Chain A
């Protein structure tokens, strides 16, 4: 079996030799043109005049398109048809594309794009959550509210209450490969697009829309992305559309890649949130009721903000059974980049909210936060199946039947030596006035499935050639997460052949249609299953054929080690394929999969939006210099649940990378807009993502030895997004270190930059 083995990434040999091709590496045909956008210089107002004569006169410029040159104006939105390719007359954020330059080189296009002369009637811009609230500027008519029981009464009757407001910053994806697309005009007006996208079908749909042709006239191919993290779920639409329009207008291939500064200024980021909370609890810290008001800053266009904000609500409980809860969510429209999908898709923000509540409760009672967290956990899945306890229900009414965190946290507590280190941290803090240490263990329970239920489907296309080699294709995209290798392991296991027999091929809308984005951690769950269906179909056909020729029954035909065993005979897989071909047996099949058991009403906030939950827990220890706010992670121990892992090495890689990305989000990665709405942190010089030296000095990562209680592909679990949320332990450890400076609660906002840490230290020392 090829599954459950720690094979390297499918393209590792190409990556280490520099021969893996990204969009900008694909040899473009002669005459390829290069595109760049000219950007608005104000955040809100009306474009009154746009003089593009200097742009047109620039050497190398072939064509220029302003807002008046495109009719109808193509739309780039994945949801609400509210994202014109070019802004104007309405200008909605600073950095919005307002004209498009087509030139014979990338540099010529970029230089010319700086020469547009725009005049504006500038209006006051809504840049913050508070400003948008005051102006009632929002998506949807009003806040969405989900309730479980009567939280207000439960809080009023509780012996203790904590309340507060927490700011949680956004996050730039900083995929190392910037957004990129290449359009190749075909005969009869057809278009082929190479796109760095998590969602080839959406690119196909939006390009077809922009060109005014049916989807069958557009084919989109994606071999790989240099990182996605959600930032290539919808943000590649504008580039693909621009390239296709320019390719049609000029009859020449057209390519566009954003330079890093443009990429950061133009594209959406993680939603920043403000979360107000009020919780009532008993002397042991058991929650009686919680009220959350979540404010999400969505930016200028709707994009994916509604499901992102929904997922924040859906994770407001994290691992804790809340007897009563009221969750109110405001989706605020501002004159900033349109916030978009980012690994966790709102879930992490919702979970930071409840982890803050747990931390605050523990501080209020003077108890270890881990003890308080545990007391509020859902009942163990083991206890539920043994009928010792009833399953708890989430605030949206889903029974939590697979809860594993009692066992996982106990194991992690032991392996990380939590109790002794808790005592050692207390001793250190008693002895050291300047350097304070902090320790925190935070759990993760993350719901797996798209909350828009119809997206939970996938297709695959598999061919077996007469020499026994296998062509594998499915709707998922590869962005580094190892999806292609995991799915190829599934295919090789189905046929009992070595991995070298399976050719992984680029995602292609012409092979598998109507795919969902590779998002919501669903890639291997959905596509692995679809591929298995296709492979098993072909395998069963071969088995039936060989059973007939060998006078036996199909169940006596086995595929293993590159051979096919038929009763007492055995032949190579290639001989079996050849024999089936000559008997006129089809060796090509599609596979299709849809996730079962889902039933979700997002308006009512009731039902089962998730097939299952993925779990994890992290213990992080930090040291904080209370004079400067400088800090570092000393040690991190993680235990993460990937079910019966399809590839433990790739899954551990997801966990390590996810943790570091999550810790970066909550500690060093700060996005700053100035009063005019200009993003001031638009390069790695000013936006601090974790570097090699920021990783914890001791970093122990292990996978939980278990299998998914639901029937997923080989009982594995999704692993893309959940580990990011382990990073909350770094924030809570810093809060713990600040708490060592004085009696009041630190009320630390995120990202916990040195400035915010110093402010929190001042508060607790006041």
Chain B
């Protein structure tokens, strides 16, 4: 059962959703984002980073695998996209576990291939496309 299920019909609702996601996640700092291509994972993460006071441009890490941002308070935020990875070994090769254990924010798109490495408190955010709306299911894991 999801902890919360939120309907989003417009991009303008994303700043509010970003706040709710972070409120639900606390004190966990590891968040997994699931959903089809084009469902809006990166766009939601842009809003979350904005809420976390990141001033830099938040772009897709599909190619780079992980982007690193820093917010006004000096906190580090790792933004992952594991879409290109083909095995768990490849996730280990990029030092995925070290990032998870760093205590910094980890916002992870396409986490499925390495999900078994994530065993601490975390939040799963699942985005479903229904018509032109999004149903966002959020569940706490511990």
The answer to whether A and B belong to the same complex is: no
Residues on A facing B (Cβ under 8 Å):
none
Residues on B facing A (Cβ under 8 Å):
none
